[in-house]
Structure 1
Amino acid sequence: MIINRLITRSICLSLLTLHISVAAMEWGGVEHHVSGVLDTRIKYADSIDSYLDGGLGKFAANNGGQIALSQLGLNYQAQWGDAWSSRIVANGYMDGFNNGIGLTEARVRYRDIPSESGIRLDVEFGLMYPQISLENVATAWASPYSLSYSTMNSWLAEEVRHIGLSTTVESLGKYRQSAHDFSVTAEAFMYNDTTGAMLAWHGWTQSSRQTLLQETLPITTIPAMQPGGMLDEQAANSDPFTELDDHIGAHVVAKWTWREKGSVQAGYYDNNADTLIVKQGQYVWLTQFGHIGAKWRLPMGINLISQYMQGNTLMTNTDGWPVVDNDFHSGYIMLSKRWSQHRVSLRVEDFSVTDNDDTPEDDNNEDGQSFTIAYQYQLDRPWFMQFEYNVIDSTRPARKYLNQPIDLVEQQWQVSSRYFF
């Protein structure tokens, strides 16, 4: 595991070195751009111990009040020539849970000039998110709509990232006197073999915390992980950026954009994992899911954003016996309206995990709904005050292992000062 983490960091450091070297070149002139976000919050949660602390609470806060640096995001981009660029994204947190700063993205990009017929090639390599989220479109993968991401995108932020190659072919409508653009993206990736572990053992969550490259994630202690249990070989923490089976996963996305109207996309993700492998307490998880999403402009200046994901994650022992076999889904609908210095966003969600295996004392079943209302006021061009209320109503039988209620309503109030630069 140490070797795997060293390899992962070496790849990212190599990209960082290339980024810095390119930025120092004089060839064709190099454009530099630095941007970031500083997000400080006052929070109050009516909840239980947070999943970030090894608990089963859905929020990135324990029960009670808290003042936190919820995101220090830094983005450095270098552009050289017409087609080549590189980007490094780092995020930092001081919220009482493994405080620190680290890389969250690092990539090199080639984006060609469109041909006369409007065909354009876009290729990226590095540490990246799969092209799924329609919510996290601001600096350093922040959301301009709400402080806490949807449960679906919170899971992506926690354990669905990889080192890989992404290739997009676009057909731009303006070259055809059309308002319609089309694109297809194919991604090949590695260093994601434990994807699905956190979804199984603490379920869906709602936060704005992105796992840093050097981080591992605490797993809730359940009876099956005690000595003699079927999961007693599982490490206490999951490593979301490890490579164990040397298999290459794949993700494909097709997107249609109607300019000035909106866009629709659909995709399929398969990490192509070999579940017979376990090394130093890290099991390989086979995780596959489909997803659809739409972003549309409605009358009265209202934006509709909606996404849905459904799939399965499987972990076996070395003999192929299914130890964890879970179906899952998560979906949200968000309405957001911006006018003058104001923005109001409303989001409703439904999520579940269905446990299909017979492993004793490891019940991963979950069913829940969530509601979020957020109000944003723009004090100055880069400075926003934001107020947000979240409520999650969920049923999770595994909470009985911690002497907590199976049926639980959790609430969170947040006030934030977000400064973009």
Structure 2
Amino acid sequence: MCIVQAKAESNGVGFSDVEHSIHGVVDIRVGYADTIDSYLDGGLGKLAANNGGQIALSQLGLNYQAQWGDAWSSRIVANAYVDGINNGIGLTEAMVRYRDIPSESGIRLDVEFGLMYPKISLENVATAWASPYSLSYSTMNSWLAEEVRHIGLSTTVESLGKYRQSAHDFSLTAEAFMYNDTTGAMLSWHGWTQSSRQTLLQETLPITAIPAMQPGGMLDEQAANSDPFKELDDRIGAHVVAKWTWRNNGSVQAGYYDNNADTLIVKQGQYAWLTQFGHIGAKWRLPMGINLISQYMQGSTIMTNTDGWPVVDNDFHSGYIMLSKRWSQHRVSLRVEDFSVTDNDDTPEDDNNEDGQSFTVAYQYQLDRPWFMQFEYNVIDSTRPARKYLNQPIDLVEQQWQLSSRYFF
């Protein structure tokens, strides 16, 4: 970590010190995948890797933060990937934050504005939205990393229990946002995935070439790539989250997300998708130093033609339970998941149905304070009828082994 303090001056008058800090992560991996074409390559594989062996710079993340006094700060997060499929470098988050000092009764205001993730993930709490528990995120948080981000305003009101001689904290977050009207497209057309790939601000995402997108099909006006940060209808979406924290024990949260998209809008092959979901999650300390982390999401996404006819109408869910134990220089994490997409429309040659389960085991060894070696095994068992369009098995078991060297600074 690098910290620099600078004194700001204007007309001879000194303002508060500005503190600059840079954190980062370098993640280099070797691995082997028993799979089909990756979703990053426009395929229907659940993994970020194609079949066979690979070596990759899976993440080079940089987090720059500037702090003005006690309340104001800004943060810019950039990520780079060299994986042989979809190399890139760009921004993943950028925001300004105001977080005031708590009042005498323990009430504190926390406001953020900019490019940000909705406040959902309980896994991705390390530098540059990495996970300290596993190399690959859960299917739920992999989807957030791919296409559930926005530019918006997030306001949190906290009630801190220590000011009330209580071990219980409460918070309520309200977010208003734009620039995410296509959210739901990738979840529909390639389904749930499992990786650690965060979509960069300037990136677009390849869509599987299903028959409905060929000339004459009901989806032939859809662009070949989806733009996950597109604003099409000039409408504001909303997200609310309530959280209870019992200090030294854990926390529970629940929220609801609605991007409020106008599905009658299509511009340059990009359709607006109305995507809504509820989510719950808990992070709890169990006996013997075991941490329990669990989240569940359920919702729907719909895309229509300009006359309002539902062309894609899907319900979806994803949930995981993870147990993680850390001792000395070791950490072991186990995660099980269940996920599905239910296709409710009658569009021919566009079957979005999906059902699957996933299991992940990860072992981490700390070589030095910022340096970790980590091994991970993933197996995903899924059924997706759309694979028949590509002459691939509808029922598929995919496996992945990865060995990583991760250095945090």
TM-score between the two structures when normalised by the length of structure 2 = 0.96
| CA deviation string 1:146-180 (max 9, x = no partner) | 00000000000000000000000000000000000
Q: What are the ranges of 5 or more consecutive residues in structure 1 without an aligned counterpart? A: 1-19
Distance in 2 separating the partners of 1:285 and 1:220:
17
TM-superposed CA distance for 1:22, in Å, is: 12
| CA deviation string 1:191-241 (max 9, x = no partner) | 000000000000000000000001000000000000000000000000000
- CA gap of 1:263–1:97, structure 2 versus 1, over 3 A, is same
Distance in 1 separating the partners of 2:67 and 2:204:
33
TM-superposed CA distance for 1:268, in Å, is: 0.1
TM-superposed CA distance for 1:43, in Å, is: 1.1
- CA gap of 1:249–1:24, structure 2 versus 1, over 3 A, is farther
* Corresponding residue number in structure 2 for 1:127: 115
* Residues 195 and 240 in structure 1, CA contact (< 8 A), matched pair in contact too: yes
Number of aligned residue pairs: 402
1:400 counterpart SS class: helix
TM-superposed CA distance for 1:32, in Å, is: 1.0
| CA deviation string 1:25-60 (max 9, x = no partner) | 358999111000000000100000000000000000
Counting only pairs closer than 5 Å after superposition, residues 81-230 of structure 1 correspond to structure 2 as 81-230=69-218
* Identity fraction in percent: 92
* Residues 383 and 417 in structure 1, CA contact (< 8 A), matched pair in contact too: yes
* Residues 28 and 80 in structure 1, CA contact (< 8 A), matched pair in contact too: no
* Residues 27 and 80 in structure 1, CA contact (< 8 A), matched pair in contact too: no
* Corresponding residue number in structure 2 for 1:309: 297
* Residues 128 and 164 in structure 1, CA contact (< 8 A), matched pair in contact too: yes
* Residues 27 and 404 in structure 2, CA contact (< 8 A), matched pair in contact too: yes
Distance in 1 separating the partners of 2:374 and 2:218:
46
| CA deviation string 1:98-147 (max 9, x = no partner) | 21210000000000100000000000000000000000000000000000
* Residues 377 and 386 in structure 1, CA contact (< 8 A), matched pair in contact too: yes
| CA deviation string 1:39-96 (max 9, x = no partner) | 0000100000000000000000000000000000000000011100000000000001
TM-superposed CA distance for 1:412, in Å, is: 0.1
1:65 counterpart SS class: strand
* Residues 4 and 21 in structure 2, CA contact (< 8 A), matched pair in contact too: no
TM-superposed CA distance for 1:274, in Å, is: 0.2
Runs of 4+ in 1 over 4 A off after TM superposition: 20-24, 26-30
| CA deviation string 1:327-385 (max 9, x = no partner) | 00000000000000000000000000000000000000000000000000000000000
Distance in 1 separating the partners of 2:364 and 2:117:
27
1:146 counterpart SS class: coil
1:153 counterpart SS class: helix
* Residues 312 and 328 in structure 1, CA contact (< 8 A), matched pair in contact too: yes
| CA deviation string 1:271-291 (max 9, x = no partner) | 000000000100000000000
* Corresponding residue number in structure 1 for 2:408: 420
Distance in 2 separating the partners of 1:28 and 1:54:
57
* Residues 136 and 142 in structure 1, CA contact (< 8 A), matched pair in contact too: yes
Distance in 1 separating the partners of 2:190 and 2:147:
12
- CA gap of 1:28–1:96, structure 2 versus 1, over 3 A, is farther
TM-superposed CA distance for 1:24, in Å, is: 7.6
* Residues 259 and 274 in structure 2, CA contact (< 8 A), matched pair in contact too: yes
- CA gap of 1:117–1:263, structure 2 versus 1, over 3 A, is same
* Residues 4 and 20 in structure 2, CA contact (< 8 A), matched pair in contact too: no
Distance in 1 separating the partners of 2:153 and 2:345:
34
Q: In the alignment, which of 6, 9, 12 is matched to residue 29 of structure 1? A: 12
* Residues 119 and 241 in structure 2, CA contact (< 8 A), matched pair in contact too: yes
- RMSD of Structure 2 on Structure 1 (CA): 1.9
Distance in 1 separating the partners of 2:164 and 2:24:
37
Deviates more, 1:28-37 or 1:230-239: 28-37
* Corresponding residue number in structure 2 for 1:353: 341
TM-superposed CA distance for 1:97, in Å, is: 2.1
* Residues 25 and 127 in structure 2, CA contact (< 8 A), matched pair in contact too: yes
* Residues 29 and 80 in structure 1, CA contact (< 8 A), matched pair in contact too: no
* Residues 5 and 20 in structure 2, CA contact (< 8 A), matched pair in contact too: no
2:187 counterpart SS class: helix
| CA deviation string 1:274-316 (max 9, x = no partner) | 0000001000000000000000000000000000000000000
* Residues 314 and 324 in structure 1, CA contact (< 8 A), matched pair in contact too: yes
- CA gap of 1:28–1:291, structure 2 versus 1, over 3 A, is farther
| CA deviation string 1:253-277 (max 9, x = no partner) | 0000000000000000000000000
Distance in 2 separating the partners of 1:302 and 1:91:
31
Distance in 2 separating the partners of 1:27 and 1:365:
61
* Residues 339 and 357 in structure 2, CA contact (< 8 A), matched pair in contact too: yes
Q: In the alignment, which of 29, 34, 38 is matched to residue 41 of structure 1? A: 29
Distance in 2 separating the partners of 1:53 and 1:23:
45
Distance in 1 separating the partners of 2:125 and 2:10:
31
- CA gap of 1:147–1:21, structure 2 versus 1, over 3 A, is closer
* Residues 350 and 386 in structure 2, CA contact (< 8 A), matched pair in contact too: yes
Distance in 1 separating the partners of 2:21 and 2:375:
30
Distance in 1 separating the partners of 2:183 and 2:159:
32
Counting only pairs closer than 5 Å after superposition, residues 358-397 of structure 1 correspond to structure 2 as 358-397=346-385
Q: What are the ranges of 5 or more consecutive residues in structure 2 without an aligned counterpart? A: 14-18
**Which has a greater percent of strand?**
2
* Residues 342 and 376 in structure 1, CA contact (< 8 A), matched pair in contact too: yes
1:390 counterpart SS class: strand
**Which has a greater percent of helix?**
1
TM-score between the two structures when normalised by the length of structure 1 = 0.94
Distance in 2 separating the partners of 1:24 and 1:38:
31
Distance in 2 separating the partners of 1:409 and 1:195:
27
- CA gap of 1:26–1:207, structure 2 versus 1, over 3 A, is farther
